[in-house]
Structure 1
Amino acid sequence: VLIGGRETKPGPQAAKKISHLYAHWIPEERILLTNVWSSELAKLVANAMLAQRISSINSISALCERTEADIDQIAKAVGMDSRIGAKFLQTSVGFGGSCFRKDILHLSYLCEFYGLSEVAAYWENVVHMNDWQTDRFFQNILKQQFNTLAGKQIALLGFAFKADTGDTRDSPAIPLCRKLLEEKAYVRVHDPQALDNARQDLSGLGSNVDLFEDVYEALDGAHAMALVTQWEEYLELDYQRIYEKMVQPAFVFDGRNHLDHAYLHKIGF
């Protein structure tokens, strides 16, 4: 628990009283008292550094695709370094959620306001890298579909910004859908929990978007499948059945490095 207090005579006393309330269920060593600026910046910096890790590993995934390196092996090796740790080193189509982008841009604004243009640009680049990663995923779909998506059925598996939630705020699936629709594709969306929010996010984008409760229906007749959210249930799907129902040649684009690629290749993807 982080408690910020003003650096006035009553400020530390007020913060101490609040800490006594938390101490009823939080160990005292887990309660940190700071000044107001430190507490507010700490929250922004925490989210900025977590997002930075995601953008960092995503940037390395691009290099891996140009070489013979394996991003999973690199992430595992780097994560074994106790100074770094393994959390937030999973490559993806990009981060989302209500906090990361907002807090990074807030931090960047503060840096710019206080005349730290280089620092502001550094943090803005974390967001730029995230947007670039989402666009790179889209560009790969476009390239593998022979540079035309017009009239093609593209199934998106997952719309929430992460698994185990229906939250779609700033989900990379949203700009991905827009880009696909701009190329005249038909987009078929499945998500176990986020379809209601997806319906709102995609309203006004035309009639080329359909939402499906059943994942097999979403994939029936699709030219390609793009996995956007790492739902565990997507590991349990009958991919032989899916392959047989898709338009051939069938493509899988795994935006989370979530699936068994060797098995999918063996089936025919």
Structure 2
Amino acid sequence: MRLSVIGCGYLGAVHAAAMASIGHDVIGIDVDPHKIALLASGKAPFFEPGLPELISSGLAAGTLAFTDDIAQARGADVHFIAVGTPQQAGSNAADLTAVRAAFAAIIPHLRSGDIVVGKSTVPVGTAESLAADVEATGATLTWNPEFLREGFAVHDTIDPDRIVIGVQDGDENAPAADILRSVYHPSVAKGTAVIVTDFATAELVKVAANAFLATKISFINAMAEIAEATGADVLQLADAIGHDERIGRRFLGAGVGFGGGCLPKDIRAFTARAEELGRGESVAFLREVDAINLRRRDRAVSLVADALGDAITGARVTMLGAAFKPHSDDIRDSPALDIAVRLQDLGAIVTVTDPEALANAERTHPTLNYVADRDEALRGAEAVVLVTEWDEYRRELSPDHAAALVERRLVVDGRNALDAPAWRAAGWEYYGMGRR
């Protein structure tokens, strides 16, 4: 098929390259000419493992192209809308400006029989509000939420664990649903679950999934708060309850909490939308989920400050990590940078290192010190804070090697990712999150 992907940010660029890799002819469209120029030259505008190779192969094969001219979408059979929905300034609600602009831009170029596919994460009811304008052209609107994990987005697009298709009447045999099954033909052929439902359910699937994951993370962080008050060990607690197959161990990692461009803003937007619907009480618990998440950043700051005491003024603190998670250069709502800035405000001299995210971090927080080389960043440190669990820090950095570089052997493990007994045996003052 010939596909267009409107919006070539994180979601759209990955989707366009992945669709080309499974045999479609894809045109990626974005209003940012700089982004388009990068993509057209075979470069990804952000770090995502495997994506540059996918883009380059699609360009070389002639199955992938990029443009800032929306008219180039004309002639495509299926049009994916993959623009961002950030949090509104001064509000928890999602900002749908880019979504509405993308729909307004594509509508003049639609033909009868075209399929328009919303992939952006939107408040429930958005698709219904857009359907009439799309259908007035003879095209059909569907909603197909994404479930990408940053760092694994290429895999999650090519080989998803489920495919959700929202159509206006929820008819499993709707022609538009069949067309989307054809778009995702390799996954469908291998038996990947395909759920065809109505617009509202498709929209809710995405935000409900993110709300559940955020809740699970904040639950174990709430247990970390109790563990800190009682002397229990949250890591052993998570292991014990994680053996229950009804609970599972994944996403029970206590630490400094979640960040990024999805979970924080999505649970806030979900809460705002529920309040608009008169059902705010149904998701009121998400406010506490958000509050617990932010409190864990406070806890990391206090662990460093308490350990250093009055000596925090002028103390050299090294932050291992800047991205909100490993395998990404995304610093949106990054706990790592939030903690770094707070420590700097307390008088510490903060140095940040990260394998991929330093350029982004320096643009947003230019007063921090940035050192690309891990060992150089550690040299002379009086406190080390692990905040992003890159393998360079959790697996490849031995406590003895680190001890030879620092001024004081003090480490705060903000992700509970280090071997605490090994670090203590090497003479380190080790502080975990919710650990003895």
- TM-score, normalised to structure 1, is 0.91
Q: State whether structure 2 residue 348 is matched by structure 1 residue 189.
A: no
Which of 179, 183, 192 is residue 18 of structure 1 equivalent to? 179
**How far did 1:117 drift?**
3.0
Q: For each residue in 1:69-125, what CA deviation from the matched residue of structure 2 results, as whole angstroms up to 9, or x when unmatched?
A: 221211111111111111111112111121101110111011111222323421122
Moved more, 13-22 or 120-129: 13-22
Q: State whether structure 2 residue 413 is matched by structure 1 residue 258.
A: no
* 1:63–1:8 distance in 2 versus 1, CA, 3 Å: closer
Which of 398, 403, 414 is residue 243 of structure 1 equivalent to? 403
Q: State whether structure 2 residue 285 is matched by structure 1 residue 128.
A: no
Q: State whether structure 2 residue 388 is matched by structure 1 residue 232.
A: no
User: Which residue in 2 is equivalent to 1:220?
Assistant: 379
How many corresponding residue pairs?
Answer: 263
Which of 366, 370, 382 is residue 211 of structure 1 equivalent to? 370
**How far did 1:148 drift?**
5.2
Q: Retained in 2: the 8 A contact 1:159–1:195? A: yes
Correspondences of 1:90-239 after superposition (within 5 Å): 90-146=253-309, 149-203=312-366, 206=367, 209-234=368-393, 235-239=395-399
Mapped partners of 1:144, 1:49: distance in 2: 34
Moved more, 70-79 or 60-69: 60-69
Secondary structure of 1:247's counterpart equals coil
**Which amino acid in structure 2 is aligned with residue 2 of structure 1?**
V
**How far did 1:32 drift?**
0.6
Q: For each residue in 1:216-239, what CA deviation from the matched residue of structure 2 results, as whole angstroms up to 9, or x when unmatched?
A: 111111110000011112122242
Mapped partners of 2:245, 2:272: distance in 1: 32
Mapped partners of 2:359, 2:170: distance in 1: 48
- Runs of at least 5 residues in structure 2 that lack an aligned partner in the other structure: 1-162, 429-436
Mapped partners of 2:322, 2:337: distance in 1: 8
Q: State whether structure 2 residue 208 is matched by structure 1 residue 45.
A: yes
Q: Retained in 1: the 8 A contact 2:239–2:249? A: yes
Mapped partners of 1:267, 1:100: distance in 2: 37
**How far did 1:14 drift?**
4.2
Moved more, 225-234 or 19-28: 19-28
Mapped partners of 2:214, 2:345: distance in 1: 28
Q: Retained in 1: the 8 A contact 2:399–2:422? A: no
Q: For each residue in 1:20-47, what CA deviation from the matched residue of structure 2 results, as whole angstroms up to 9, or x when unmatched?
A: 3246222366111111011001100101
Mapped partners of 1:134, 1:168: distance in 2: 15
User: Which residue in 2 is equivalent to 1:6?
Assistant: 168
**Which amino acid in structure 2 is aligned with residue 222 of structure 1?**
A
**Which amino acid in structure 2 is aligned with residue 175 of structure 1?**
D
Q: State whether structure 2 residue 197 is matched by structure 1 residue 34.
A: yes
**How far did 1:212 drift?**
1.0
Q: Retained in 2: the 8 A contact 1:96–1:169? A: yes
* 1:141–1:4 distance in 2 versus 1, CA, 3 Å: same
Secondary structure of 1:245's counterpart equals coil
- TM-score, normalised to structure 2, is 0.57
**Which amino acid in structure 2 is aligned with residue 5 of structure 1?**
V
Q: Retained in 2: the 8 A contact 1:5–1:14? A: no
Secondary structure of 1:170's counterpart equals coil
Q: Retained in 1: the 8 A contact 2:170–2:199? A: no
Mapped partners of 1:12, 1:170: distance in 2: 41
**How far did 1:147 drift?**
5.0
Secondary structure of 1:32's counterpart equals strand
* 1:213–1:247 distance in 2 versus 1, CA, 3 Å: same
Moved more, 226-235 or 147-156: 147-156
Provide the aligned C-alpha RMSD in A. Answer: 2.0
Secondary structure of 2:210's counterpart equals helix
Mapped partners of 1:8, 1:256: distance in 2: 42
Q: Retained in 1: the 8 A contact 2:217–2:257? A: yes
Q: For each residue in 1:191-213, what CA deviation from the matched residue of structure 2 results, as whole angstroms up to 9, or x when unmatched?
A: 1121111212212xx3xx21112
> Quick one: percent identity of the two aligned structures?
36
